[in-house]
Amino acid sequence: MAQEGELIQVGRLGRARGIFGWLWITPDTDFPDRFVNLDRIMVSESDTWRELKIEGAKVIGGRPAIKFVGISRREDAGRLTNRILAVKREQLVQLPPDTHYVFDLVGCEVRDEVSDRRLGEIIDVVRYPANDVYVIRTSDGKDVLFPAVNSFVRRIDVAARKVTVLNGGMFDVDDEKTGP
């Protein structure tokens, strides 16, 4: 779970756009317009971060583009290509109820609703058009793909780092070595 002040990746700088220092952004967010309201953003630089002041940001054809203060030529912008963009947790877009950021789910323990037996831990969330899928690693090291839909995911308690699911036979609980 991300702590206050921790940097959260929200995108990656793409290729330069035009000749005046604009860059495309490949967002890691469901909110591509989130960049429009920022005045500063953290940009990766080797093993550290540098805060850059934003001169302008807009969404063109559903894709965000950004221009930084002091970057006025295509060549200068091109040097920033593939750098990671991040914001502090406090700058994240507030989500609607019953929705969660992926980084808050990764690391959560998964338990069976009926038996309260530990089924594993969420190690990733894969996005598909129909629904997200949790990648859950069991105690024996197997990865189980589990649909993130309301009919199977019963409760998510990010603060307790616990997700309760209706197993539905997707896990071989007899092989699970860890008890409640």
Q: How far apart, in Å, do the first and last CA atoms of the chain sit?
A: 22
Q: Spell out the domains of the chain, with CATH numbers in brackets.
A: 7-91 (2.40.30.60), 102-173 (2.30.30.240)
Structure confidence at residue 177 (pLDDT): 47
Q: What one-letter code names the amino acid at 136?
A: I
What are the helix (H) ranges across 33-85? 74-78
What is the reported pLDDT for 157? 94
- Provide the pLDDT confidence category of residue 1 given band limits of 50, 70 and 90: very low
pLDDT at residue 160 above 80? Answer: yes
Residues 6+ apart with CB under 8 A from 91: 38
Cα(117)–Cα(47) distance, integer angstroms: 40
Residue 14 pLDDT: 95
Residue type, 32: P
Q: How many residues can be counted in the chain?
A: 180
pLDDT tens by residue, 25-49? 999 877 888 899 899 999 998 889 9
Q: State the burial class of residue 162 (Cβ atoms within 10 Å of its Cβ: 0-12, 13-18, 19+).
A: middle
Mean predicted confidence (pLDDT) in 64-74: 95
Cα distances from 68 to residues 76, 99, 102, 112, 154, in angstroms, run 10, 32, 28, 49, 44
Per-residue pLDDT tens over the stretch 99-115: 888 889 999 999 999 99
pTM for this entry: 0.72
